[in-house]
Chain A
Amino acid sequence: MVSQYILSIAIWLPIVGGVLVLATGGDRNAPLARWLSLVVAVLTFIATIPLYTGFNLNTYTMQFVENYSWIEAFNIRYHVGVDGISLLLILLTSFTTVLVVISAWQVIQKKVAQYLAAFLIMEGLMIGVFSALDAILFYVFWEAMLVPMFIIIGLWGGANRVYATIKFFLYTFIGSVLMLVAFIYLYYQAEGSFDILTFHDLKLGLTEQILIFLAFLAAFAVKIPMWPVHTWLPDAHVEAPTGGSVILAAIMLKMGGYGLLRFSMPILPDASHELAWLMIALSLIAVVYIALVALVQEDMKKLIAYSSIAHMGFVTLGFFMFNAQGIEGGIVQMISHGFISGALFLCVGIMYDRLHSRLIKDYGGVANTMPVFAAFMMLFALANAGLPGTSGFVGEFLVILGAFQVNVWYAFAAATILIFGAAYTLWMYKRVIFGKVVNDGVKTLTDVTAREILFLVLLAVPVLVLGLWPFPFLDVLHASVEHLLQQVSVSKL
């Protein structure tokens, strides 16, 4: 039966496909590389669909599990599986990769095969991160995934790409090393096992828990990114090519949030409660402080990057409310943010491809020359501002509901996103899209092509569906989130 190997297919198909794309060689064969990549990406997406259709909603136990011995000496296993939380993230990954391949079609003309191969390989590794149930396997995917990202920013990036890449590398690497130390400690506590589900049941003292929590946090907070370790993100986004920004914002940031749910909260319930104040404080700082910083950005990509940090602050806030609305809201926010920030980065990319500027002041009156584009960007801007009926609303709403149950003032601070989120997004929109044509560059703009419309539509549909009917998305989460709440509410002391 194929269904037993769905996860392995989803992990290895894009990796093998990526290697094949790489084998097409130089830019002479670019069309072949493009078509092959598209086929691989679409096949991978199709391969992940049975994860959803065959998913059992009534259990929190891992599904589609594969468990083999890998490195006998240390009892490291190739153990993968999904629950409701990882399922949605895997689908988001396979879906987004298809869009990235389409969006690179004409834009990338140099080293096409390498560019596309990097994304396909990264896709496999990211799906690996979301499905690994062995800590070392997780760690390998987690670290390996950084390599293609460095290459993407380093080779296809902007002028200041070396600084951005090194900053990105140092930040994420230092955090990851601490996480590895924590894994090794847990390995000895678990009497020689790296099994994550075994970690969940380990008895651990409070001091241990707090130290491990901080070690994990070092890795996850950088990825999310949480204030004050967020400054690598705007730099990385500004330098990254459009596809890199999309994957960075849509998927990579989510790995930090996923880590909190898969490791920190269930393994360390007491530390999670003990340090909840810290997580909440950092989250709210992200929501308010970062939103204000976003307001005054002059570079569109930086603005969206800061907006991402603020929205991820909502995610972490929701998680540490320790109630169903908060956690489910946080997860939905991650998915929704994947679509919306991906879409906004693609929108900026569309303009950048034409005028080679990301600065707000270089634009104005784009709606006159690109009306169809303006309509799409309006939708995504409103979604980013959390408009009901779009996916952006669902997560924010649930997190606010969750926060109110814990403390009125958390909800109060969180709800400021309604004002600031609208302010920075729509103010940017006003300056870029509305108004009279400000310069000859804008006058020469041509509206979106059929290919661009294709990926914008592919993003608009989930944004609207998730906004109007989040039921099927939330439904997948219930059993897993309930179990997580159970785990995090039982003290290990």
Chain B
Amino acid sequence: MFGLSMKTIYLLIPLSPLAGAIIAGLFGWKIGKVGAHVVTILGVTVSFVLSAFVVLPDVLAGHVFNGPVYTWGVSGNIPMEIGFLIDPLSALMMTVVSFVSLMVHIYTIGYMRDDPGYQRFFSYIALFTFSMLILVMSNNFLQLFFGWEAVGVMSYLLIGFWFTRESAIVANLKAFLVNRIGDFGFILGIAAIYYYFGTLDYGAVFAMAPQFTDKVVQVFPGLDWNVLTLIAILLFVGAMGKSAQVPLHVWLPDSMEGPTPISALIHAATMVTAGVFMVARMSPLYELSETALSVVIVIGAVTAISMALLGIVQNDIKRVVAYSTLSQLGYMMVALGASAYAAGIFHLMTHAFFKALLFLAAGSVIIALHHEQDMRKMGGLKKYMPITFITAWIGALALAGIPPFAGFFSKDMIIEAVHLSQVPGSGFAYIAVLSGVFVTALYTFRMLFLTFEGKPRMDEHALRHVKESPWVVTVPLILLAIPSFIIGALMVEPLLFENYFGDSIKVLAAHDVVAQLGRQYEGLWSFVSHALVSAPFLLAVGGIFTAWLLYIRYPHLPDLISKRTRMVYTILVNKYFADEFNNFVFAGGTRIFGRWLWKIGDVKLIDGLAVNGTARVIGWISAVIRHVQSGYVYHYAFAMILGLFLLITFFLHG
């Protein structure tokens, strides 16, 4: 295109948002608000257009690129490079990331209109886009970690964007530190790969991996672990941090303190799915370790169901969507654990669209109500905000998994895949994801009904000012609603059953549940008609019906239920007391221990006893010795006589 080589195009895709970010960040004061959003949107548009209309078709035509950009460093003769791997998996991710990012950029013009940090915000989200693209385009573990940490930092900066709010700066520190716990495992996983494989290049590592199936490492004396299991689990710890899996999920709900556009972009559509992407990218490693797959599926299943339950009791509209994201990330992990990587990535994609949509719709409501997020003060908004209302419905139907909306296909595929999976833990996971369907539909429609249906519960003043959001907000909603509607039906066949991913995802024949599904699959229409009588669909409809009963038909019921089930309700409202536990045990415990080491170890023992003690002992000895030099002649005379006496004794008896 335009006579550019493909390599130049690959470079342009991440670098154009970077250029936008630098210009908006350093010269934002000069180019003004319009200048800032123009340069960054231009940059992201370039990324999107090139990804979707140049790279994606090129990859579909069978051109895979894997090559270095520059050598980062060499140590011990092993070069570490920065480079790109452009294959179906990365091309799909690039397209999704740049599209959602572009929508969020446009939306931000409306959402952040009056914010004094306007230019800074655009600079950050463009820089985030750059980081995320670097992450997905990487062909090696080093660059993966670069992107991984860079998106983490951008998330940190954006959660704390309103840095005068105490809740925001607590949340961003928490997010960064919890992610760092994940990265702690991740970097050890990378170190393990470097040690055993002697390279950080994906291709080389994947090619060698099958030779390592019998290799063990002694973790403790007497406890040997398979090397690949160790590596896969260490890497997964990183994924648990980034993709907020239990018990490292605690940062994500709090990240809602950031402005809504980034909740949509970073904490729903893109960054939090990095863990899912990473595990799918590492499928050649995970496939070789049943134990690791089992860990993935169990952690994913626990996250999917436990976080969905929390969504039911939240009153903050953004937090409902946040818990929903946690739960859906659990679904994706379950798919990966069942070796249905394609289904996991498929759900990642559909989720990116409909979840970004739901967040932006929530944001649209929030601005209409002047930054009110409590659903108890909403209601009846459908007639004031028709576009937001309709697009939110589409998002909700997609999330609940109602055919033919996008989420239906991807979620159904996951459930079917888990059903077929033989991995230890898949039985539990099946129950979890199945019951999760009911809960998902329930909290989704609870949110929808509380917000848009019923009587308005906000005060008179707020109600008078409610109006539909400007076009910069509604256009992205519409543009996201379209894929939320159709992308599932459109992509289910090519992505899952026509070998779209090719060599970018490897599945052992014994694990290949997607292929088994493919053999049962008899075209779109029969798939949908089968699904209409299947358990997931009935559960989803049941969930919606329950929500209708509770929040429209008998609105006094929820209070009654929560009073009757006091204990369950308390546990859910307090989010299983995970924050309290962490604050008390980890944050508090570490500080107490640190203070103890300082006051006892450094101040008392080393300085007090060893250093000043030595000084004191020397002082004391000199004080004693000083007495000997009294200056009195008879003292010296006595000492001489004593010495003489001792010497004579020594010589006589010696």
Contacts and interface: CB of A to CB of B under 8 A. Distances in A.
Interface stretch (B98-106, B364-372, B600-608): B600-608
Given A231-B607, A404-B188, A430-B173, A292 B74 contact: no
B594 A328 contact: no
A145 interface: no
A39 B594 CA distance: 45
B597 interface: yes
B163 A435 contact: yes
B166 to A, nearest CB: 6
A422 B181 CA distance: 10
A450 B365 CA distance: 44
Interface in A135-185: 167
A470 B170 CA distance: 34
B317 to A, nearest CB: 26
Given A365-B164, A401-B195, A474-B73, A422 B180 contact: yes
Contact of A329 (B75, B190, B591): B75
Contacts of B610: 228
A416 B184 contact: yes
B23 to A, nearest CB: 16
B166 A400 contact: no
Contact of A231 (B195, B597, B611): B611
Nearest to A393: B149
A324 B75 contact: yes
Interface string A380-409: 001000011100011001101101110010
A422 B598 contact: no
A468 B81 CA distance: 11
Interface residues of A, number: 56
B553 interface: no
A56 interface: no
B2 interface: no
Nearest to B149: A388
A412 B188 CA distance: 7
A324 B75 CA distance: 6
Contact of A418 (B184, B192, B595): B184
A335 to B, nearest CB: 13
B70 interface: yes
Interface string B170-202: 100100110011011001101110110000000
Contacts of B597: 289, 292-293
B3 interface: no
B24 to A, nearest CB: 14
A263 interface: no
A398 B75 contact: yes
B154 to A, nearest CB: 11
A323 B72 CA distance: 19
A478 B74 contact: yes
Given A228-B606, A422-B176, A475 B74 contact: yes
B149 A293 contact: no
Nearest to A477: B75
Contact of B184 (A405, A415, A435): A415
A469 interface: yes
> Counting chain B CB atoms within 10 Å of each CB, which of A324, A397, A433, A473 scores highest?
A397
Interface in A407-436: 408, 411-412, 415-416, 418-419, 422-423, 426-427, 430, 433-436
Given A427-B173, A470-B72, A400 B595 contact: no
Contacts of B628: none
A325 interface: yes
> Counting chain A CB atoms within 10 Å of each CB, which of B72, B191, B195 scores highest?
B191
Contacts of B594: 292-296
B149 A400 contact: no
B602 A325 contact: no
Interface in A460-493: 468-471, 473-475, 478
B166 A388 contact: no
A367 interface: yes
Contacts of A368: 164
B82 to A, nearest CB: 9
- Size class of B's contact patch? 35 or more
Contacts of B641: none
- What DSSP secondary structure best describes chain A's contact surface? helix
B180 A325 contact: no
A293 B183 contact: no
A64 to B, nearest CB: 24
Nearest to A406: B195
Contacts of B181: 419
Contact of B187 (A323, A400, A435, A468): A400
B123 to A, nearest CB: 11
A328 B75 contact: yes
Nearest to B143: A388
B169 A388 contact: no
B173 A471 contact: no
Interface string A122-139: 000000000000000000
Contacts of B602: 231, 293
A405 B594 CA distance: 30
A226 B347 CA distance: 51
Contacts of A295: 590-591, 594
A382 B173 CA distance: 12
B149 A434 contact: no
B71 interface: yes
B173 A415 contact: no
B183 A418 contact: yes
A449 B607 CA distance: 40
B611 A292 contact: no
A284 B524 CA distance: 59
Interface in B148-168: 149-150, 153, 156-157, 160, 163-164, 166
Contacts of A401: 75, 190-191, 194-195
B169 A418 contact: no
A430 B169 contact: yes
Contact of A411 (B145, B176, B188, B219): B188
Given A293-B594, A401-B195, A433-B163, 10 more contacts: A387-B149, A394-B73, A401-B75, A401-B191, A404-B188, A404-B192, A408-B217, A415-B187, A436-B166, A468-B72
Interface of B: 70-77, 145-146, 149-150, 153, 156-157, 160, 163-164, 166, 169-170, 173, 176-177, 180-181, 183-184, 187-188, 190-192, 194-195, 217, 219, 590-591, 593-595, 597-598, 601-602, 606-607, 610-611
Give the 5 A-B residue pairs with the shortest CB-CB distance, closest first: A324-B76, A292-B594, A404-B191, A434-B169, A470-B73
7 contacts: A231-B611, A324-B77, A400-B187, A400-B191, A408-B219, A419-B180, A471-B71
Interface of A: 167, 228, 231, 289, 292-297, 323-325, 328-329, 365, 367-368, 378, 382, 387-389, 393-394, 397-398, 400-401, 403-405, 408, 411-412, 415-416, 418-419, 422-423, 426-427, 430, 433-436, 468-471, 473-475, 478
